[in-house]
Amino acid sequence: MKLLLLFSLVALAQCFVHRIPLRKGKTLRQALKEHGLLERYLKEHPYNPAAKYFRTRVSSEPMENYMDNSYYGTISIGTPPQEFTVIFDTGSSNLWVPSVYCSSLPCSNHKLFNPAKSSTFVSTNETVYIAYGTGSMSGILGYDTVKVADIEVYNQIFGLSETEPGDFFYYCPFDGILGLAYPSIASAGATPVFDNMMTEGLVARDLFSVYLSKDEESGSFVLFGAIDPYYVTNGITWIPLSAETYWQITMHRVSINGKVTACSHDCQAIVDTGTSLLAMPNNDLTKILEALGATSSGEIQCKDRDTLPDVVFHINGALFPVTPSAYVVESDGVCSLGFEGMDVSTESGVQWILGDVFIREYYVVFNRAKNMVGLSRLA
């Protein structure tokens, strides 16, 4: 089943998608062997252990803050490199970009990958299909060199879109998506980029960390292989994962003014850079809107925002407040709360999505070595 969150009042922001597929994929060696190409490929791409050693590093990927609704950076695919902007999405696991095989409307205003122009591209006969609430993507899988910041991942499997029906992706300011969740939820069983970084020893530590700027300011980044000490002066609170699928955790309750308001008997949540708002079950949303004096559509008087209380998340014995300056969104003189209702039944039991409204308050460490999320409150 697929999970979609629409996160903005404007179509330009409706560009984040999440999915729950379940298969482990084939390695490049397996795929090449099946098609009788392994021997030739090994001759053309000899293994060099020294090159692998010297590629080990810490690498920071800057991200652009687009209207506080999306954060994306630039990667390259192929030889010579073809550049694409992608969402670094902890709520999904696949890498895909538009391709020259695509004739859908969204492909008319985005960069297209051309495998014929890459000397390192390896094609497959495998297909990938991902359905969303307001659109879908289908295409083929291939292998090529993917460069993220200054880390080169050789033989990375990725999707080349052939169809992107409707106008869903047309309005997105980025080209594709680079998923950073676990391989267990990767569509078509494709190995995620960060898993290959870890396997090939391309990161100093098996973790990455994220900082999202506020108010459309610059400075957002995802840091592969390290934790930036500048952003953790308040210490790190570590939270164990409840499932190795999304970056999924157990929340114990949500309170306002010291009173339990939502999630009163534990609930499952995911920490998701690919969702702009903070999503929750509709009945919990109603309770929070009432507690904050908002209308049923989430609107408030702009003059009241400075007097609103924090919304406090109780997780693993610690308190994580989200301030009104973080959860009140103003657009064209109208103020609304950055919360979204959803009622989705998923195999993993996810009920809440802690999106960018939450993440902007914290420096977040995604630790694959220990299967934990670390949160450090920002000043």
Bigger pLDDT: 208 vs 54: 208
**Catalytic residue of the set 89, 144, 175, 310:** 89
Fold of 2-221: Cathepsin D, subunit A; domain 1 (2.40.70)
- Per-residue model confidence (pLDDT) at position 45: 45
In whole angstroms, give the CA distance from residue 95 to residue 180.
9
Please write the tens of the pLDDT for every residue from 69-115. Answer: 889 999 999 999 999 999 999 999 999 999 999 999 999 999 999 99
> 229-377, which class in CATH?
mainly beta
Exposed e or buried b for every residue in 300-334, given b needs 16+ CB within 10 A?
beeeebeebebbbbbbbeeebebebebbbbeeeee
Active site annotation includes 272: yes
Predicted TM-score of the model (pTM): 0.86
* CATH 2.40.70.10 residue spans of the chain: 2-221, 229-377
pLDDT-based confidence at 169, cuts 50/70/90? confident
Active site annotation includes 306: no
Please write the tens of the pLDDT for every residue from 307-334. Answer: 999 999 999 999 999 999 999 999 889 9
- Per-residue model confidence (pLDDT) at position 67: 87
Please write the tens of the pLDDT for every residue from 225-258. Answer: 999 999 999 999 999 999 999 999 999 999 999 9
Structural contact between residues 91 and 246, judged by C-beta atoms closer than 8 angstroms: yes
Query: What is the amino acid identity at position 292?
Result: L
**Catalytic residue of the set 272, 284, 310, 356:** 272
